[in-house]
Structure 1
Amino acid sequence: MPANTSLSSRLKKGERARTLGRLVGYLMRDSWRMIIMILSGLIGVTLVVLAPKVMARGTDVLFSGILGSMLKNQMHLPDGTPMSTVVDLLKQNGQGNLASMLSNYDVTVGKGVDWTLFAQIMLMTVGIYVISIIFRYVQNFVMARITTNVVYTMRSEIVQKVDRLPLSYFDRVPRGEVMSRTTNDIDNVQQSLQQILGEFFFSVFQFIATVVMMLTISPLLTGIAMIVIPVLLLIIGGILKLSQPQYVKQWDNTGRVNSHVEEMFSGHMVVRAYGQEASAEEKFDEYNEGLYKSSFFASFMSSLMNPLTSFAGNMSFVIVAIFGGLRVINGQLTLGDLQAFTQYSRQTTQPLGQLASMGSMLQSALASSQRIFEFLDEDEEERENEGDTAVVSGDMSGHVSGHVSGHVEFDHVSFSYTPDKPLIKDLTLEAQPGQTVAIVGPTGAGKTTLVNLLMRFYEITGGQIRLDGTDTRGMTRHELRSHFGMVLQDTWLFEGTIRDNLFYGVHDPALRTEERLLEAARATHVDEFVRRLPNGYDTILDDDSTELSQGEKQLLTIARAYLANPDILILDEATSSVDTRTEVKVQTAMNTLRTGRTAFVIAHRLSTIRDADIIVVVNHGDIVEQGSHDELLASDGVYASMYNSQFAGQSEDN
């Protein structure tokens, strides 16, 4: 599935369900933590829901004590008068409603508030809330571990996936889009899960437990309070339906913005050189406007959740207060129960509002998860066979124990990037151990493609490529590539010291010595400029590395290949970034490095490959000429024409 296809056309109901199921699968890998989190949340909710009921008992104790004192003072009754006598007197005086209300309380005439009992109830209430907070803390702590583990697993799988993806994927998908999926989308999943996971179970449990407690107090009032719930659910469902596509667009547009910004930053010098700043800004404004609109609409729709749930909660409270007050007056409900019930009615709409907000977060998380899963589901390089062998001179056991001789054969090789456009057709080429094979030809002729096929960055569609007589497809890619050293036209240095960059290809700690480092640095003329730096080989390089010229960076990559001591060298325009004078020095170093090794050299400067054992002229994926420098000049063919045109151009410059 193309990575740049809009998610809004794909994230349908069934796809969302599959994505959600897959996301839940990641969560369930920590099943025992999930159980602890759910149990902690359940206990915490139970305590929170019980608290209003306990507090209601305190309200009744307080109200009963106040009534006891009032009855003594206003009705002039003796202390200890039974409540039945008080009720009968009130009924005789035409105060039936008051009599019905008082019949629900344990009132003793003349006895005031039982402050000891009231204090015990309040302390119990505080204790319940404190214990519930502890369980909530446990729930949130475990939830944080679960979500962190999920994201850690995803990131690990992404890194492993990158190593298994073919180069064709990175040729097809912009780097900014890949970075957006592996950074922004991952971060969004983590933040969304952290906000959703703990609150989801708490809200569901709270809603169910609250409704149960409301039913124990008054089924009639519960039914009245629930009138607003169906209407609220319908509104929330409509909002989620409208906002879901906007979240999908939001993360699609985020990828486009990041891709454009990365592209413009990487090529900012070219953009300025050609005066395309306005065009770049215009395209950025277009992408940014799309991101703004989708983000604004998604955020606006989500922001409607809290006002709606608050409105529903307030309406429920008003209805409950009116009908509940009438039932208290009629003696069908105590004041403490009404207090508890009003709290519970608030607690029914609160979790619904939280669940509604989580629904919006979930839509955003699913959109990002889908983009991540699409990346993880991309077609990978052809899987290695368990029986793949390592090619080691005198050892076919499958274990790396030495060097290969470097005998390379292209036997009737065919390859195409797309099935309808064949590039290489029936190509045959042989490089004997220790030979230098130069590959030349016009741009797009297939020179670099031959190297990519040799390294198995792409898989051939026909024929064989053999290394020391063994088909490279019968070897693991790691073992195959371990015998090669590459110096590319585009220099790549990672953030770290010059020393670490030079030792990048040296895996044996015993070989990471200062003597070998200095030998390689001097042979490739790196030592000359590194010693001029304040910190020498401990100088820290960053993305820009402004303290080094492009040519000096290229020299570092050549020294890196020298230290790696590979069996076979691949030099792809390795001297293109150095000046002519430095090129002579580097060429001498590379000649020393090539001694005793098979080397493949791709070059446009034909003067640099005159001493190659074989020069192969490639055009449209076919070998049109091959031979030594002198042989090809004598044949007066394509190579001679290319060489003479370069020589003539240099003469005119001089």
Structure 2
Amino acid sequence: MPNFLIYKANIIRREEFNVTGKKTTIQSTWKMNIRAWKIWWKLCPRFFFSAGISSMVKALTPYVTIFLSAQIINELSGNQDVAVLAKWVILTLTYTSLCALLNSILKHWLNYEKSSAQSIDRQVYMKKMLDLDYEDIERQPIFDLYSQIIQTKYWSGWGIYKTLLFFEELVTAFFQILGGISLSVSLFAAKVPKGSELEPINHPLFAVGILMLLLLIAVLSPICKTMGDKYMTNYAKEARLGNRFFYFFGFMSHDKKRAADLRMYQQQENICHPRMAECTMFSAHSDIAKSAMGPMGLLHALSQGMSVILTGVVYLYVCLKAWAGAFGVGSVTQYIGAITQLFGGVSAFLTTVGAMQSNGEFLVSCFHFLDIPNRMYQGSLTTEKRSDRQYEVEFRDVSFRYPDTEQWALRHINLKFQIGKRLAVVGMNGSGKTTFIKLLCRLYDPTEGQIFLNEIDIRKYKYDDYINIFSVVFQDFQLLSLPLGENVAGAARYDSELAKSCLKNAGFETRFQSMPKGLDTYLYKDLDENGIQISGGEAQKIAIARALYKDAPFIILDEPTAALDPVAEAEIYSKFNDIVTDKTTVYISHRLSSCKFCDEIAVFHEGNVVQKGTHEELISDKTGKYYELWNAQAQYYNE
């Protein structure tokens, strides 16, 4: 089985949360579009004004030209009065120029609003991601659903943003139909003179028959177009996968983090090119290409052919009535243009409705994501603001397992934090240390048991209030490509002296003094070509400074010195007692040597707290886990 097909099968298995491909009714499609328009109305109401006015002017402008041109031709074929001709010519030039100018201004306005909406579109999903319960963000099915929405948007534009384009197209079609009716209604009222061989054309049934034929053709054209487009939506899953392959392997050479490996192991030639060759999603031999050259292409061709047939029927009917003397030659221009525009508007309206139906299944995914509920109770009690920082936290028989798993990550944890003390949490990888911290910060709620703050279940506190008592340096912390000061403060406006002090306490002073722009120095070069590249150890120091700047009563450091050399580590730990002052501090560390200065050490193993005590107490127990871990690392301490 080819590698690409194996990968494809794995992706499809992961897409169990995928809700695209579900059929939607016309009623449900309209409801979803109306809901999307309501969202957009709140986010960018000016788009609807710009789209409405621009679409109206764009739709009606051709009718101005059609009407005025018909008057000129009628005068040329009739009285040929120079004054009248001059009047119509001047009016034509004036109105055509004004319409062109107005269309240009309105188009510029509309394009600006569209561009603004495009950036807002991504923010809709970003805001939802930030509002989701943290445990949902880490669930793979939800991440896959979000990825599908974004990938579909970049592949074909389907999704919530597409509804804005539908609104514009519907308004344009509406005014196009309205203008066509106003200029073509007299066509069916105009009578062929009595005695003419074509007098039967005057019969109402003939007019009804022509109208029904034109309507049938106008309906068949968008039906064929929609059926053809459906082939593309049916390949959405494969197209997303193809895009992922193309983006990852096609742009891998731009990834600075992989540059060394690519060269050392010739991965570009041995991996990237072969993988790209396996992905034939958009090649001439793909299923999409075969459909384009087969049924999809045929249906699109039929759609265009129907439009040509419609124009031909219009010409035939109008010219027959003109030939029979029902109206002058100038009116031929008016009626042909008006009816073509009229039924073109009908066809455009139905084509848009068909596209809305195709987009409906992708809207299901979008709203399924936006409707993910927040199950975590947000609490109502205000966290007490204590100047003495006397916050006591206790775990009582706490057990936890991650969503969608059966394995317990923590089991029966009982632990009480001593106010103002230093607690070290140690253990092997996978022993539950980081999970313990996530529960403490209430990124997750316990599966069993309770966590108390000052004898009150933490779930009863307002969520934002509760997390504000913690400063955390996570193991996988992230800094932003923004000025150093903003990274430390986590805000655009900040106390510069406090930021400098925190950087100094975190051991970043020497590097800071070499920065000519000081706190205004950009980190990395994503947004500023003069930005600085920082090492992993320097980034960790900045993250520690950020935690100090928050000045919360609890400070938690998850592997805070993992990227630091032993000298820098010793420097930070030697002064940390002075830095944290009266804060309650929790350290997670693999280096047991860093635990010596802590008041208490909790040893985790396989999701349980197997030992508690000071370094001296734990090292004296030669049968304990701490003694085993200490001796495993002792060779490094003695060197």
Q: TM-score range by the shorter chain?
A: 0.7 to 0.9
CA contact (8 A) 1:633 1:640 kept: yes
Residue 350 of structure 2 corresponds to residue 337 of structure 1:
no
2:139 to 159, 164, 172: 172
- 2-side partners of 1:552 and 1:465: how far apart? 35
Amino acid at match of 1:162: M
Aligned partner of 1:25 among 27, 38, 60: 38
The question of whether the paired residues in 1 share the 8 Å contact of 2:47 and 2:114 is answered with no
- Separation (CA, whole Å) in 2 of partners of 1:43 and 1:416: 60
Shift of 1:323: 4.8
Give yes or no for the alignment of 1:268 onto 2:235: no
Match of 2:170 among 162, 176, 200: 200
What is residue 109 of structure 1 aligned with on the other side? Answer: none
> Which amino acid letter does the alignment assign opposite residue 59 of structure 1?
I
**1:389 aligned to 2:382?**
yes
How many equivalent residue pairs?
592
Identity, % of aligned positions: 19
Relative to structure 1, the CA distance from residue 39 to residue 551 in structure 2 (aligned partners, 3 Å threshold; closer, same or farther) is closer
Which segment drifts farther, 483-492 or 619-628?
A: 483-492
Alignment of 1:210-609 (within 5 A): 210-211=180-181, 213-218=183-188, 220=201, 223-224=209-210, 227-244=213-230, 246-247=232-233, 249-250=235-236, 253-254=239-240, 257-258=243-244, 261=247, 265=255, 268=258, 272=262, 278-279=270-271, 289=281, 311-352=305-346, 354-355=348-349, 358=352, 362=356, 366=360, 369-385=363-379, 387-393=380-386, 402=387, 404-418=389-403, 420-504=406-490, 509=494, 512-514=495-497, 516-542=498-524, 547-609=533-595
- How much has 1:591 moved relative to structure 2? 2.9
Return 309-318 or 25-34, whichever deviates more: 25-34
Structure 2: which amino acid aligns with 1:216? S
* Change over 3 Å in CA distance of 1:33–1:533 after alignment to 2: closer
SS across alignment from 2:412: strand
Amino acid at match of 1:210: G
- 1:61 is aligned to 75
SS at match of 1:417: coil
AA aligned to 1:114 is D
Deviation at 1:209, TM superposition (A): 3.9
Distance 2:538 2:55 in 1: 61
Letter in 2 for 1:520: C
Once the two structures are superposed, what CA deviation does each residue of 1:40-76 show, in whole Å capped at 9, x if it has no partner? 75577567546534543433332223xxxxxxxxxxx
* Counterpart-to-counterpart distance in 2, 1:249 and 1:628: 62
Asked if the contact 1:403/1:567 (under 8 Å) is kept, the reply is: no
Worse-superposed segment, 27-36 or 49-58: 27-36
State yes or no: 1:10 paired with 2:22.
Answer: yes
SS of residue matched to 1:466: strand
Structure 2: distance between partners of 1:18 and 1:270: 52
Please tell me whether residue 162 in structure 1 is matched to residue 160 in structure 2: no
Shift of 1:575: 0.6
User: Quick check: 2:314–2:336 contact (8 Å CA) kept in 1?
Assistant: yes
Q: Secondary structure at the match of 1:405?
A: coil
Which of 152, 176, 185 lines up with 2:153 in the alignment?
A: 185
Report the counterpart of residue 643 of structure 1 in structure 2: 630
Most deviating of 420-429 and 154-163: 154-163
- Cα drift, residue 640 of structure 1: 0.5
- Classify 1:308/1:28 alpha carbon distance in 2 versus 1 (closer, same or farther; 3 Å): farther
Q: Secondary structure at the match of 1:541?
A: coil
Aligned runs of 1:57-136 on 2, under 5 Å?
A: 57-65=71-79, 113-127=80-94, 129=96
CA distance in 2, matches of 1:604, 1:581: 17
Note the alpha carbon deviations across 1:247-279, whole angstroms, 9 max, x for none: 364477447745995796597379658876544
Q: Distance in 1 between matches of 2:417 and 2:114?
A: 54
1:9 CA displacement: 2.8
After the TM superposition, which of the residue ranges 347-356 and 140-149 deviates more from structure 2?
A: 140-149
Look up the equivalent residue of 2:385 and give its one-letter code: V
1: distance between equivalents of 2:636 and 2:125? 49
Q: Deviation at 1:454? A: 0.7
Secondary structure of 1:635 counterpart:
coil
**How high is the TM-score relative to the length of structure 2?**
0.78
Q: After superposition, what is the alpha-carbon deviation per residue over 1:182-211, rounded to whole angstroms, capped at 9, x for unaligned?
A: 698397668745644333222233235424
* Partner Cα distance (1:248, 1:592) in 2: 63
> What residue number does 1:95 align with?
none
Contact 1:180/1:258 (CA < 8 Å) preserved in 2? Answer: no
Q: Is residue 7–residue 249 contact of structure 1 (8 Å, CA) maintained in 2?
A: no
Query: In the TM superposition, what is the alpha-carbon distance from 1:431 to its structure 2 partner?
Result: 1.1
Residues 310 and 131 (structure 1), Cα distance of their counterparts in 2 relative to 1, 3 Å cut: farther
Name the CA distance, whole Å, in 1 between partners of 2:592 and 2:349. Answer: 69
Give per-residue Cα distances to partners, 1:430-466, cap 9 Å, x unaligned. 0111111111112111110110001111111232212
Contact 2:427 2:604 in 1 (8 A): yes
Superposition RMSD in Å:
4.2
SS in 1 for 2:445: coil
Task: Report the Cα distance in structure 2 between the residues aligned to 1:582 and 1:312, rounded to whole angstroms.
Answer: 76
* Alignment check: 8 A CA contact 2:179 2:342 kept: no
Partner Cα distance (1:306, 1:163) in 2: 42
Whether the 8 Å contact between 2:525 and 2:533 is mirrored in structure 1 is no
Question: 1:25 offset after TM fit, Å?
Answer: 2.8
Structure showing greater radius of gyration is 1
- The aligned amino acid for 2:384 is V
Check 1:177–1:494 CA distance in 2 against 1; reply closer, same or farther (3 A cut).
farther
CA–CA separation in structure 2 for the residues paired with 1:129 and 1:234: 33
Deviation of 1:546 (Å): 6.2
Q: Which amino acid aligns with 1:163?
A: L
The residue type equivalent to 2:502 in the other structure is: A
Equivalent position amino acid for 1:203 in 2: A
In structure 2, the gaps of 5 or more residues are 1-12, 190-200
* Conserved 8 A contact 1:37-1:138: no
Q: Cα distance, 1:307 vs. partner?
A: 6.1
Contact kept? 1:526, 1:552, Cα under 8 Å:
yes
Q: Answer whether contact 1:614 1:628 (CA < 8 A) is retained.
A: yes
Q: What letter matches 2:70 in structure 1?
A: A
Deviation, 1:230, is 1.7
CA contact (8 A) 1:247 1:363 kept: no
Listed one character per residue, the Cα deviations across residues 95-131 of structure 1 (whole Å, up to 9, x for unaligned) are xxxxxxxxxxxxxxxxxx2111222233444455456
